[in-house]
Amino acid sequence: MKTKQAFNPYLPSWEYVPDAEPHVVDGRVYVYGSHDLFNGLNFCLGDYVCWSAPVDDLGNWTYHGVIFRREQDPAAPKLRLTNGLAAPDMVVGDDGRYYLYYFMGGTKMISVAVCDEPAGQYEFYGYVHYPDGTPIGKRGEPFQFDPGCLKDDDGRLYLYTGFAFGGNPILLDGSQPTAHGPMCFEIDTRDMLTVISGDALRYIGVLTGEEAKGTAYEEQPFGEASSMRKFGDKYYFIYSSLNSHNLCYAVSDYPDHGFAYGGILVSCGDIGLPGVPDVNHARMCTGNTHGSLIEIGGRHYIFYHRHSNRKQSSRQACAEEIRFADGKFYQAEMTSCGLNGGPLAGVGHYPAYIACNVYGKHGTRFMSMVKYRKGLNPFLTQKGGDREEGPDQYVSNFCTDCTVGFKYFDLRKTRSLAVALQGYGNGCAVTVRTEEHGQPILRIPVETCLEPKTFSAPLPAGLGEKEALYFSVEGKGGSFDFISFDLA
C-alpha cells in the first residue's frame, strides 16, 4: 500500500549511493551500490550501505545501515583514497544465503562477502578464482571491474566483468583495459567462488574499441558497468558505453554469447532524446552512470545515477519507469517522479533538489574529479557535511537565463505556486513554464533576501494531469539559492 510519493533521487538528499543493482527479495526492493561521500575527493570512499522499499510503496525507503566495511577484506590496501569499494552485485546461493560480489581498487580481484539475510552484516568470504586457486585478475587478464551476476533459471551462475577505458592509469594499476568487451565466467554454485567455464577468457560479443567500428556498437561501445537481467527467454546485458553518460543494453538468446546491440536505456543528461543531440546540449551536468533494469508489478524500471556538487564523485541514485514492448526497451527520460507510478500531486511541498533538468545559459558541463568554477550554471549542492548532517540539498546559483525543470505534476486542481529563495536579485522575477521553450505561464516578482523567503503567485486554470514545470530567473544579475516550491 502506497504511503509516500516517490521522487528522484529516491533516497534522502544526504545519501550518495550510485551504481545501483536492484533486487526483489520477499516483497521488497533492495538496492546494492557503491557509496560516495558528499564532496568526496574520489569515487566510492564510503563502506557499503543498503536501502530497501516495499514493492508497492516505492517512495518509502528504509536504511539498513552499513552492511560491509572495506577493512573486512584481507586484501584492502591501506590507502583508501584511490582504492574504494566499487559497484557490487548480489545473488542468492543454493544454500539460501546472500552473496555480494564486489571490486576493491588496488586488488585486481573480484571479492565475495556473504550474509544470511539480504541487508544484514556481511562477512568476507573469498575471491573468485580458477580451479587452481589463482584469483581471476591475477593472470594478466584485462582489468576486472564492477562485477554483475546472473543466477539463471537452470541454476547456473554467471559473473560478468570488464573495463574498457584506457585513460585511467590510477584505477588500472598496471592492468590493461579490455579490447574485446565484457568477460563472462561461469561460477560453481557449490562454493560460489570457483570458475568452471575453463581457463580461456569468454567474451560475450558486446564490442568495444576497434572491434566496434563498422558495427551496431560503434556509437555506443562497451565501457564498464556490467549488469545482466533476464526477461522472458531473453538475456539483457546492461552497460555504460565509452560515452560514459548513458546506460545501454544488448540482447541475446544466451547468457554468455551472441549479444546484439539494443539501444540506449537512459542518459544522465537526457542525451539522445529529441532536442538533445549531444553532450553540449545535456539537460543536466553529466559524468559516468551505472545501474540496471528490474521489473516490479508488471512495470519496468531503469536504475542509474546523477551528479551533484560540480564534480563526478557526489553521485545520487535515480530510477525511471521505462517502456518495454516486443522485447525492446526505449530510452527513458530523466524525471522528478521516476518510481512514483505517475505524476506527482498538484498540492504539496517539493524540495528543489528533485529537479531533473538543471542547466544555464551556456548549457552544462561534463564533470571531472575537480570542481568546475561556479560560472553561470546552476548546480545541486548542500550546506551541511556528509550524510545526516546535510539534509538541505538545493539548487545553487539559480541565475539569470538558467533553467531548473521538474517532471511531472498533476496540476488540474492547482491554483497557486510559491518559491522559496535566498540570494540577490532586486528587480528580478522567477518565470514558470510548462514547456521547455514555451511562453511563461506566470511571473513571480522576487527581491534580494539574505534569509530564505517565499514568493508566490496564482497559477492559471486549465493545466493538465501531466505537466512539467520549468523555472528561470528573468532580470539582470539575479543569483539565488533555489530551496523549494509549494503547490496549492
Residue 19 bears catalytic tag: yes
What are the residue ranges of CATH 2.115.10.20 in the chain?
21-330
CA-nearest of 486, 296, 302, 295 to 409 is: 486
- What confidence tens digit (pLDDT) does each residue in 154-183 have? 999 999 999 999 988 888 989 999 999 999
pLDDT bucket at 374, cuts 50 / 70 / 90: confident
Predicted pLDDT of residue 384: 82
pLDDT score for 14: 95
Q: What is the mean pLDDT of residues 41-53?
A: 97
Residues β-bridged to residue 240: 224, 247
* Catalytic hit among 15, 19, 73, 270: 19
Domain at 21-330: CATH code: 2.115.10.20
pLDDT at position 182? 98
Q: How far is CA 72 from CA 45, 68, 102, 137, 370, in A?
A: 15, 7, 13, 20, 30
6-23 average pLDDT score: 97
Over residues 16-44, the mean pLDDT reads 97
Active-site position among 36, 186, 224, 410? 224
Which three cell numbers, joined as nine digits, stand for 75? 586484501
Say what the pLDDT of residue 389 is.
79
Report whether pLDDT(204) > 90. Answer: yes
- At 270 the pLDDT is 98
Q: Using 50, 70 and 90 to split pLDDT, how confident is the model at 391? A: confident
Complete edge-to-edge strand list for the sheet that includes strand 98-103: 89-92, 98-103, 110-115, 123-127
List pLDDT tens digits, range 102-111. 999 999 999 9
Look up residue 278 and give its three cell numbers: 549531444
User: Among the listed ranges 3-17, 102-116, 288-302, 388-402, which one has the minimum average pLDDT value?
Assistant: 388-402
Please tell me the predicted confidence (pLDDT) of residue 386: 82
Give the CATH class of 348-487.
mainly beta
Q: What is the pLDDT of residues 315-368, one digit of tens each?
A: 999 999 999 999 999 999 999 999 999 999 999 999 999 999 999 988 999 999
Percent with pLDDT over 70 in the chain: 100
Q: What average pLDDT does the structure give for the chain?
A: 96
Q: How confident is the model at residue 66 (pLDDT cuts 50, 70, 90)?
A: very high
Residue range 410-453, pLDDT digits in tens:
999 999 999 999 999 999 999 999 999 999 999 999 999 999 99
- Residue intervals of the chain classified under CATH 2.60.120.260 are 348-487
Phi-psi region for residue 162, left (φ > 0), alpha (ψ -120 to 50) or beta? left
Whether 392 is catalytic: no
Q: Which amino acid is at 153?
A: D
pLDDT band at 388 (very low <50, low <70, confident <90, very high): confident
